[in-house]
Structure 1
């Protein structure tokens, strides 16, 4: 294709003070050489034989030193301009051709502010990429926890003491004792499950933080890293529910006092209103402190300091953190239900009075039911623990990237050379 008059070849520039015709071949006497044949197929930068009349066009002006020719800047058919720290040509991000460079991704997430889907995908990618360590930790914790729960339910906890709750002729004393026993049984099971969740969270936090850097970690290495902070994590995990219960207790206390004083109706109304208001306050605080666990584990902070760090990171992003945590919880519960419910029905069909007795609650809960349903619980916990723990850790990292430019530190730790942060925001974030 013939070059357009007044336009240099891509990636080249005329010499200073030199007319475009100067590049044509000349003989020894300085005269123009013979013209090339018209059917020559070789690439040529010569001018077209059909030129406009004189005076209607001018030769390209010489390029000042340091200026890029138009052809090279546009990138048409030639070499692209060098990429600078913020984009092509070394300008600010998004100012050059091609936009800002993609963020570095040494591990399971790109090192920039994350969207909701990227946080969820990062948690799943951690489980998929490092499945031996992740599933090994969650499976071991789930098995130990479920064995303790089954043994307590089968040997220690007495379900017959709660039968009064289903008896319409039971006295108030029997109902009270049955409720106390039911709360005790539920509390013991929740305590064991919470202990297992704490251990799994501590180990999976280390695994996820290394996965962000593209590094793997074995279970013994995760244990050595998490063990010094484990007691503090126990204290934090027990302190947060106590704070929530204390807030709810303060909220319902005025209504209880009014009810005791003789105003039953007014007291009941105050109890309901106080419980609702206290529940809102408790939920707000729990979300504010929801990133305290990764702050405690990864920053090696104390309990109070990790809570204040979480409050600082969540400030201004409460609804976003709440929405992502709620979405991850819903997904985890759906996955667990898909696995646990079939095992529960199978356990009911193989024990007691069969599936009919299981549905109308007339069947006996024996060892067969406990073991089969426990297997389903183990499988469900093995798959859901990494999701919930991973989302919390990635939310913590995302908030620090947004507020403290943690991506630069992560890039250095991952060994990324010449890293520059990408755009400050991402779609859907």
Structure 2
């Protein structure tokens, strides 16, 4: 028998919900993510709310946060400017994301065990976990700001000094962002741990580290694979949208074309967000089961 699949003559594990109740391979997690979206289409509504609030706020702040064009030969400076341009998005997203997580994550747990949870019931389960979810988001935001600070105050002056110092500055940027990626994956299961295990923010962060430790590359690979499937689906959807947008801009009205593109982008983000929430939740479920050796819900935990 392999790690993930029963051998001849062995009972096939049940699958009451979106994934089998056994250790999962990457393809089963990806498939489970999309089955979750089909089974609980209402999860698009929190995604749409998120998209409207975040994109609307950024649209209002855009004139204030506009950056000057970067020097294309200033590699470190250009990279930092691109990173800083996304900082408002990260701040607004961190303020809104816990609300979406509180509504969607309980539905993932229910879907794993075959139950269907409506938006009101899911929100009732997730709302008490909001303080811990905000704590996790704050910790992840602070960790995400560290590479920006190091790059701006250490790496950029080194780069602009030229010579050996420039090479050291570029290497520092690479090392810091690699470390940030490593930490981000270590903490990627913290929000599901808050909701599924009822942990506080600090305990959920350590729980995520415990679950990911020894399986970092697997978790990284699964999340990247989900991201690639999302990107592929988004590309398929947006190609005809871009075609219609350009046609409207040049034949009817530029404003109408941009409006169509904006509405399509909001709808797309609303569809993508539940998938992005479900992926770490299913990965948390799988890693938790692998660590404990259990395939069903723990005693007393029933959606």
- For 2:51, the equivalent position in structure 1 comes to 145
CA offsets 1:230-277 (integer angstroms, 9 cap, x no match) = 2321232232132133145447755456568xx432222111000111
**Residue of 398, 402, 407 corresponding to 2:286:** 398
Please say which structure displays the higher CA radius of gyration.
1
Picking from 151, 165, 171, the partner of 2:69 is 165
Q: Choose which of 289, 295, 315 in structure 1 pairs with 2:187.
A: 289
Q: How many Å separate the matches in 2 of 1:365 and 1:190?
A: 29
CA drift of 1:156 comes to 5.6
Residues 1:382 and 2:270 aligned together: yes
Q: Does 1:128 align with 2:34?
A: no
Query: How do residues 13-412 of structure 1 correspond to structure 2 at under 5 angstroms?
Result: 99-130=9-40, 135-143=41-49, 145-146=51-52, 149-150=55-56, 153=59, 157-158=62-63, 165=69, 186-247=86-147, 249-250=149-150, 254-256=154-156, 258=158, 263-351=161-249, 354=250, 366=255, 368-410=256-298
- The normalised TM-score by structure 2 is 0.81
Could you tell me how far apart the structure 2 residues matched to 1:143 and 1:375 are?
13
Q: How far, CA to CA, are the matches of 1:184 and 1:259 in structure 2? A: 17
Query: Conserved in 2, the CA contact under 8 Å of 1:205 and 1:297?
Result: yes
- Following superposition, the deviation at residue 378 of structure 1 comes to 2.6
Task: Say which structure, 1 or 2, has more relative contact order (CA 8 Å, 6+ apart).
Answer: 2
C-alpha distance in 2, partners of 1:198/1:115?
A: 28
Stretches of structure 1 lacking an aligned partner (at least 5 in a row): 1-92, 169-175, 356-363, 416-429
State how far apart, in whole Å, the 2-side matches of 1:345 and 1:287 are: 36
Which sits farther off after the overlay, 300-309 or 98-107?
Answer: 98-107
Structure 1 residues 343 and 215: alpha-carbon distance in aligned structure 2, compared to 1, 3 A threshold: same
Contact 1:258/1:264, CA 8 A, preserved across alignment: yes
The answer on whether the counterparts of 1:295 and 1:396 sit within 8 Å (CA) in structure 2 is yes
Give the CA deviation at 1:137: 2.9
- Structure 2 gaps of 5+ residues are 1-5
Q: With the length of structure 1 as denominator, give the TM-score of the two structures.
A: 0.59
